[in-house]
Amino acid sequence: MYYAITLFESRQRFGIIFLALSVVLSCLTAIKGKKLLGIKSERWHNLVVGICITVAIVTGIFFYTQFMHLVWERCGQNMPIDYVMGVLIIIMVFICTWKEMGPILPVITLVFIAYGYFGNYFPGFLYHPGLSPSRLVQLFAVEIDGIYGTLNQIGCTWIVIFVFYAGFIRGFGGLKYVLDITTWFGQKFKYGLTQIPVIASMLFGCFSGSAAANVAGTGSFTIPTMKGVGIPPKYAGAIESVASSGGQVMPPIMGAAAFVMCNYLNVHYIKVVAYGLAPAIVFYLSVAIAVYLISLKYLQVEKIVVTEVPHISIAEGMPILISIIALVAVLAITMMDILTVGFFTIILFLILRLILELKRSWGVNGLKNFGKGLIEGIRAGSLSMVSIAVMLGIMGIILRVLTGTGLAQTLAFFMVDISGGHLVPLLLLIMLVCIIFGMAVSTVAAYILVVILAAPALIMLGVPLLSAHFTVFYLAITSAITPPVAAACAVACGIAKAPFLSVCWQAMKIGVGIFILPFVFVTQPDILAFSSATPLAALIVLIGLIAITLGIHGPWGGAKGGLKRFIYIILGGLGLFCPVSPIAYACLGVAVLLFAYDLTRGRRVKAVAVAENNKPSLKP
């Protein structure tokens, strides 16, 4: 926050300080948290922590003080001390990433490093002359790139300022406030109870960079609530998994990928938010309809116990609402730097919270309550920052291997060749790659990994740059609900006490839109344009997704019901993907008429049933 207001250094040089302090904080949290390197002996573990902190500080000071020399004087002719310090900081990033995110991402990075060194042993298009150990260290650290590269610079400025904003919201009870709002909604409307996870996860997911964290944050409340009113455990877990995964596509944060995307697209952040708004709304509406159809089958109204409706304080939500409105307005009108606007958004939020706390309890007690929220917000933001910082550092190593060996461009050409120059096979291949990479990493990491490979391949086949990036971004999110890892489903099935694969299968059915929208971005690019054509394109896509959702979850049984569901799926698919526009619009029109007929017929059947129940009995 100090850097945001003073800009006392270049972003690249400030990133050195940021990464060093993030490593130090990661090591400090290991003293009473998850251990470094799995060391069980407390004495030896604390000794290792002390060594790691010392190394992080020493390397940070070295690269910060030697920055100009490394960039301008010793570039390509480095001294032995440069390589020693480079190796040490690389090792520290590996250790902290392992501690924060588990072993999978470090192991994948080691595979890429091995490819960079042993490239001359690989056959065919994978061949390259191979890079020496000294050259690898130069690429990863000594040239102030790799772990100190673009991703680290985005992380230490744009991403982290909003991570702290989300941390302060949580520190002052923002998550509880969101859950209270959704609980109030669920108790006011009969079928609104099952919409609680959709709304809560959408609101909470706006500021979270992890689908699994969304599930853990809201699922502990929403999943037992759904199970308590008759929703089967596998459906309860699946609904929460999909809703939490969708939080990654909802502006303004979009799982932190919005900041990386605006850097790749070379456009302002507010434009990326605008581009992503319509598809995010369409996705959540399709999920809400799927949840409603599931509720029609399983919701047991008699089990809904109307407890005390939570008191919703309008004043409690005003700091969040006003700060978000100010954030969007300032970014849209002034196009100021994201870091500066994020800083003043935090200050505005804190001022409003201070006023609110003093209004509730004037004097020392109000200041104490504000201090507690402030400290908790700093803690939440710091802990979230650490995992993002080390993850972006190690991702920088992977990207340097991809670009330094020429593998990124080679794989792009290879994917075009293997797809035969056809768009649909290429998209399916990219989906497979996204799911594979997404097994191990967060949404933003999977997006970073795949966009370097896939976006050039899509552009080669004529896909617009914006559509290519959003296609990869949405496909990266599918890994959160697709086996064999499905991180969101893994957390949800534990809470719901349901079989993992059953939760995954139902989640893929409920969240079918997340698989369809990446293809829609190619056939209906206007949905991303944020122009006068966007509302019509969004309506067309929404109708198509609703038709497909009705085909999957429609409340019709038997052979006729199966045929009707099949017709809905065909009409929705043709409406979205038929290259002949009149045929596509005709299919969507037929789907709307069929849905209107089913709706009116359902109301007539219900009216007849009510009338039959109200007839006077003939028995004395």
Q: What is the mean pLDDT of each run of 10 residues along the chain (620 residues)?
A: 89 94 93 80 89 96 94 87 96 92 85 93 89 94 91 85 86 80 70 76 67 74 82 91 84 74 84 89 92 86 60 82 85 79 92 91 87 92 87 88 84 82 85 72 74 84 88 86 79 86 91 92 88 90 93 85 90 88 89 85 55 46
Beta carbons of 525 and 256 less than 8 angstroms apart: no
Q: Give buried/exposed letters for 549-566 (b at 16+ CB in 10 A, else e).
A: bbbbbbeeeeeeeeebbe
Beta carbons of 172 and 207 less than 8 angstroms apart: no
d(CA 90, CA 184): 49
Q: 3-state SS of the chain: helix, strand, coil percent to 5?
A: 80, 0, 20
Alpha helices in 102-210 (DSSP H): 104-117, 133-137, 150-154, 160-171, 174-188, 196-205
d(CA 178, CA 184): 10
255 dihedral zone (left: phi>0; alpha: psi -120 to 50; beta): left
d(CA 266, CA 115): 30
User: Which residue has 């979270």 as its token pair?
Assistant: 208
Other C-beta atoms within 10 Å of 383: how many?
16
Beta carbons of 454 and 428 less than 8 angstroms apart: no
pLDDT per residue as tens digits for the range 423-448: 888 888 888 877 776 665 667 777 88
Task: State the chain's maximal CA–CA distance in angstroms.
Answer: 106
pTM, full prediction: 0.76
Beta carbons of 249 and 477 less than 8 angstroms apart: yes
User: Which residue has 């392992």 as its token pair?
Assistant: 98
Tokens representing 510 are 């409920």
R_g of the chain, CA atoms, integer Å: 26
The whole-number pLDDT of residue 302 equals 63
Other C-beta atoms within 10 Å of 601: how many?
10
Q: Where are the domains of the chain?
A: 2-110, 152-394, 533-608
Q: Reduced to 3 states, what is the DSSP secondary structure of residue 616?
A: coil
Tokens representing 397 are 């190593």
Q: Reduced to 3 states, what is the DSSP secondary structure of residue 410?
A: helix
The CA angle 339-340-344, to the nearest 5 degrees, is 115
The whole-number pLDDT of residue 301 equals 65
Task: Classify residue 436 by burial, with Cβ atoms within 10 Å: 0-12, 13-18, 19+.
Answer: middle
pLDDT per residue as tens digits for the range 246-274: 877 887 767 667 788 888 888 888 888 88
